[in-house]
């Protein structure tokens, strides 16, 4: 089974192709250029480098959120365009679970954090040790959400375990995490501390076997947050009603 | 279909319409699908960019699928994909651009980035297959007010732009102020038909240092001041009269500038385009003034005035014929200028 995967949910743009147990190519860039300019040229580069006939892929995978709204738009719109043209399904992979997968084998809690502004992070809490020996997906202890850093660290502490934090939220909140945590904390090393499309593809392969995919038309990213206009409107209506 | 026919899929998502169309040879519409988000944005009294972006994401595949099936063709039968890359709202633009690049790439089709304002102008080529450049064009919509000299299919000189609000923006704001709601253009048009255009004399703004430039913020403020004044004095305002008087002022400024330009450049053809080009008062005033001057007047049907993708496919066609192609690094350019940047 061949999967073309992309991730532009955070600061990194990444593209990869996997074929069964083989990572054919992965291209990850964390540079100031916008994902809109880098993502498709990166896809093209790995397609040419691996002499990939796009019609032979089985599915298009994308980090389907949470993440920066703009980044999710670029990734999901690209995934929809590729999948529609190729008549293949889209696998919208939970961004934080794919990040957790990069730390497969770690015995404590895995906590991806992405800066969500307003002193919040997009996060989730995962554990492979609790998923059982040889599990391909980690056990999810906290579903993907936007959470204040204080609240997140408190929740993590309630499990009474050590934890590794990963993601582009780490540089933003490292001091807070160290200050707040009452449990042993570590941080993922540089080659594993950001989104990688290889991990998106690996998780997508499992999800595909589980039947967890959509058509290009149906795919939409998971933003986790409503737009500001909707929030304000609901607040105003709440006041009007109460 | 003869060998030389060129079929282009156009994709448009610069504001609040998700649109796709297939156009043959730049002028013949095979399909023209528009998914409007107006019901959503009406709740907020205007376009909410984040919501618009999200709805484009939900609809874009469907409108393309529908455009292809209505045209009775598959992606493989296309010659190119054209997409709006600016000007417009960045989030909505990014959905269309990112999607179109991927779709074209995976279909092995060339991609042509299109300037949205150029698209509006090209709506006239679809409406009247005999129209050829050079001519003058007034592009008026919710986001744009451009007086353009169309020198050739791909060569434009912008003679004048708005210094502040777009004409359509002024219509929206005034409509909101007199309680007509969103979208303002059609609502003002309808109300004005029942009002007296001479009831209130609103100012006709002329820009001193830009002969063909426009300004609508003064007119908008004058209307708001009038409404405030009436409210303070406890006078009842006839909203139909305000709508008609405002519309008369806006139409006069637009038409006056346009006719001055026509005289200066000895134009014998004048086209209007954009959402506000559907306004019945603007249309009849243009018709009257153009016929007085012996100028041939062109205006697209309503469906081609509003944001649509047929006009984008048409514009893409003329660039495609010149061998212009966009790369996979094509980005959304929210403030894209007409006649400068190359896609």
For B102-111, the pLDDT digits (tens) are: 999 999 999 9
* Cβ pair B302, B279 in contact under 8 A: no
Over residues B41-68, the mean pLDDT reads 95
Which among A36, A38, A79 has CB closest to B332?
A36
Domain A2-95+195-227 architecture: 2-Layer Sandwich (3.30)
Over residues B164-188, the mean pLDDT reads 93
In angstroms, the CA B135 to CA B272 distance is: 11
Average pLDDT, chain B: 95
H/E stretch holding A186: strand A185-187
CATH 3.30.420.40 domain residues, chain A: 2-95+195-227, 96-192
- pLDDT tens string A71-113: 999 999 999 999 999 999 999 999 999 999 999 999 999 999 9
Q: Is A68 on the interface with B (CB under 8 A)?
A: no
Top pLDDT among A40 and B142 is at A40
Contacts with A, B 20-39, CB within 8 Å: none
Helix (H, G, I), strand (E, B) or coil at A84: helix
pLDDT category, B2, cuts 50, 70, 90? low
In angstroms, the CA B164 to CA B216 distance is: 7
**Residues of chain B positioned with their CB less than 8 A from the CB of A230:** 48, 51
Contacts of A22 (CB under 8 A, 6+ apart): none
Pick from A86, A63, A13: nearest CA to B103:
A86
In angstroms, the CA B141 to CA B329 distance is: 29
Task: Look at residue B3 in the predicted model and tell me its pLDDT.
Answer: 60
* Cβ pair A106, A85 in contact under 8 A: no
pLDDT category, A223, cuts 50, 70, 90? very high
- Global confidence as pTM: 0.96
H/E stretch holding A200: helix A197-209
Over residues B177-186, the mean pLDDT reads 91
pLDDT category, B69, cuts 50, 70, 90? very high
* Cβ pair A76, A220 in contact under 8 A: yes
- pLDDT tens string B206-232: 888 889 999 999 999 999 999 999 999
**Residues of chain A positioned with their CB less than 8 A from the CB of B58:** 220
Task: Look at residue A238 in the predicted model and tell me its pLDDT.
Answer: 78
All structural domains of chain B: 7-123+305-321 (3.30.420.40), 133-300 (3.30.420.40)
Query: Nearest residue of B to residue A228 by CA position?
Result: B50
- pLDDT tens string B288-306: 999 999 999 999 999 999 9
Best A9, A45, A73 residue to mutate vs chain B (most B CBs within 10 Å): A73
Top pLDDT among B343 and B293 is at B293
**Residues of chain A positioned with their CB less than 8 A from the CB of B102:** 40, 43, 77-82, 85
Percent of chain A surpassing pLDDT 70: 98
Over residues A44-48, the mean pLDDT reads 98
pLDDT category, B340, cuts 50, 70, 90? low
Q: Is A234 on the interface with B (CB under 8 A)?
A: no
Tokens read off for A32: 């100031």
Query: Nearest residue of B to residue A225 by CA position?
Result: B50
* Cβ pair B170, B219 in contact under 8 A: yes
Among B29-33, B96-100, B181-185, which is the least confidently predicted range?
A: B181-185
Task: Look at residue A93 in the predicted model and tell me its pLDDT.
Answer: 98
Q: If DSSP states are collapsed to H, E and C, what string results for B118-153?
A: HHHHHHHHHHCCCCCCCEEEEEECCCCEEEEEEEEC
Task: Look at residue B341 in the predicted model and tell me its pLDDT.
Answer: 45
Directed axis angle between helix A69-86 and helix A35-49, to 10°?
Answer: 40
State the ipTM, two decimals. 0.97
**Residues of chain B positioned with their CB less than 8 A from the CB of A38:** 329
Contacts of A121 (CB under 8 A, 6+ apart): A113, A114, A115, A146, A147, A149, A152, A167, A169, A173
Q: Is B100 on the interface with A (CB under 8 A)?
A: yes
Over residues B133-150, the mean pLDDT reads 96
CB atoms closer than 10 angstroms to residue B79: 16
* Cβ pair B96, B13 in contact under 8 A: yes
In angstroms, the CA A90 to CA A220 distance is: 10
Which among B48, B105, B332 has CB closest to A44?
B105
In angstroms, the CA B205 to CA B209 distance is: 12
Distances (CA, A) of B187 to B119, B243, B276: 25, 9, 12
Does B57 sit within 8 Å of A80, measured CB to CB?
yes
In angstroms, the CA A155 to CA A108 distance is: 14
- Asked if the model's pLDDT at residue A240 lies above 90, the reply is no
- Asked if the model's pLDDT at residue A133 lies above 60, the reply is yes
Which among B51, B75, B98 has CB closest to A36?
B98
Contacts with B, A 7-66, CB within 8 Å: 34, 36-41, 43-44, 54
Tokens read off for A86: 């190729």
Tokens read off for A73: 């738009």
Which among A74, A85, A221 has CB closest to B94?
A74
- pLDDT tens string A164-195: 999 999 999 999 999 999 999 999 999 999 99
Q: Is A217 on the interface with B (CB under 8 A)?
A: yes
DSSP 8-state symbol, A32: S
Top pLDDT among B340 and B67 is at B67
- Asked if the model's pLDDT at residue A241 lies above 60, the reply is no
Task: Look at residue A239 in the predicted model and tell me its pLDDT.
Answer: 65
Class for the domain spanning A96-192: alpha beta
pLDDT category, B23, cuts 50, 70, 90? very high
* Cβ pair A71, A39 in contact under 8 A: no
Size of interface A-B (CB pairs under 8 A): 109
Among B75-89, B197-211, B272-286, which is the least confidently predicted range?
A: B197-211
Best B98, B325, B326, B334 residue to mutate vs chain A (most A CBs within 10 Å): B98
């Amino acid at each position: 089974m061949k999967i073309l995967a992309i991730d532009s949910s955070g600061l990194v743009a990444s593209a990869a192709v996997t074929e069964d147990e083989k990572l054919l190519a992965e291209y990850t860039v964390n540079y100031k250029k916008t994902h809109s300019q880098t993502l498709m040229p990166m896809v093209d580069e790995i397609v040419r480098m691996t002499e990939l006939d796009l019609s032979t892929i089985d599915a298009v995978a994308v980090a389907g959120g949470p993440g920066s709204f703009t980044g999710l738009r670029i990734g999901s719109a690209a995934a929809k365009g590729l999948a529609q043209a190729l008549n293949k399904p889209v696998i919208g992979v939970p961004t934080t679970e794919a990040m957790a997968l990069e730390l497969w084998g770690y015995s404590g809690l895995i906590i991806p954090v992405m800066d969500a502004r307003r002193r919040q992070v997009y996060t989730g809490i995962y554990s492979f040790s609790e998923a059982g020996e040889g599990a391909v997906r980690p056990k999810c202890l906290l579903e993907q959400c936007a959470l204040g850093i204080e609240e997140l660290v408190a929740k993590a502490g309630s499990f009474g375990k050590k934890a590794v934090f990963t993601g582009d939220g780490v540089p933003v909140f490292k001091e807070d995490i160290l200050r707040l945590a009452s449990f042993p904390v570590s941080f993922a090393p540089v080659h594993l501390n950001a989104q990688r499309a290889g991990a998106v593809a690996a998780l997508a392969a499992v999800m595909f076997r589980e039947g967890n995919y959509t058509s290009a038309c149906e795919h939409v990213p998971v933003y986790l947050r409503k737009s500001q206009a909707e929030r304000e409107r609901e607040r105003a209506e709440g006041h009007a009603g109460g | 279909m003869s060998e030389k026919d060129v079929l282009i899929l156009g994709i448009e998502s610069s504001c609040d319409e998700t649109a796709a169309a297939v156009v043959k040879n730049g002028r013949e519409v095979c399909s023209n699908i528009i998914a409007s988000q107006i019901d959503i944005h009406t709740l907020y009294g205007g376009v909410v960019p984040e919501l618009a972006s999200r709805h484009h994401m939900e609809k874009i595949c469907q409108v393309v699928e529908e455009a292809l099936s209505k045209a009775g063709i598959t992606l493989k039968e296309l010659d190119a994909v054209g997409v709006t890359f600016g000007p417009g709202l960045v989030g909505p633009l990014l959905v269309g651009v990112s999607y179109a690049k991927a779709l074209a790439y995976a279909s092995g089709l060339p991609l042509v980035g299109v300037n949205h304002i150029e698209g509006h102008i090209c709506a006239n080529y679809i409406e009247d297959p005999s129209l050829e450049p050079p001519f003058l064009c007034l592009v008026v919509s919710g986001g744009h007010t451009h007086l353009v000299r169309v020198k050739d299919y791909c060569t434009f000189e912008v003679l004048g732009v708005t210094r502040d609000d777009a004409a359509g923006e002024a219509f929206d704001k005034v409509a909101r102020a007199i309680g007509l709601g969103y979208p303002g253009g059609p609502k003002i048009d309808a109300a004005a038909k029942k009002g007296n255009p001479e009831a209130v004399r609103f100012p006709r703004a002329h820009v001193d240092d830009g002969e063909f430039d426009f300004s609508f913020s003064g007119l908008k403020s004058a209307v708001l001041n009038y409404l405030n004044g009436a409210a303070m004095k406890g006078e009842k305002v006839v909203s139909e009269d305000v709508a008609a008087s405002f519309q008369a002022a806006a139409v006069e400024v637009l038409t006056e500038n346009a006719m001055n330009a026509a005289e200066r450049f000895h134009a014998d053809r004048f086209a209007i385009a954009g959402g506000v080009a559907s306004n019945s008062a603007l249309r009849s005033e243009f018709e009257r003034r153009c016929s007085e001057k012996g100028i041939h007047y062109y205006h697209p049907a309503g469906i081609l005035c509003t944001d649509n993708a047929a006009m984008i496919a048409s514009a893409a066609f003329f660039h495609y014929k010149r061998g212009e192609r966009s790369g996979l690094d094509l980005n959304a350019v929210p403030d894209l200028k007409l006649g400068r940047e190359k896609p």
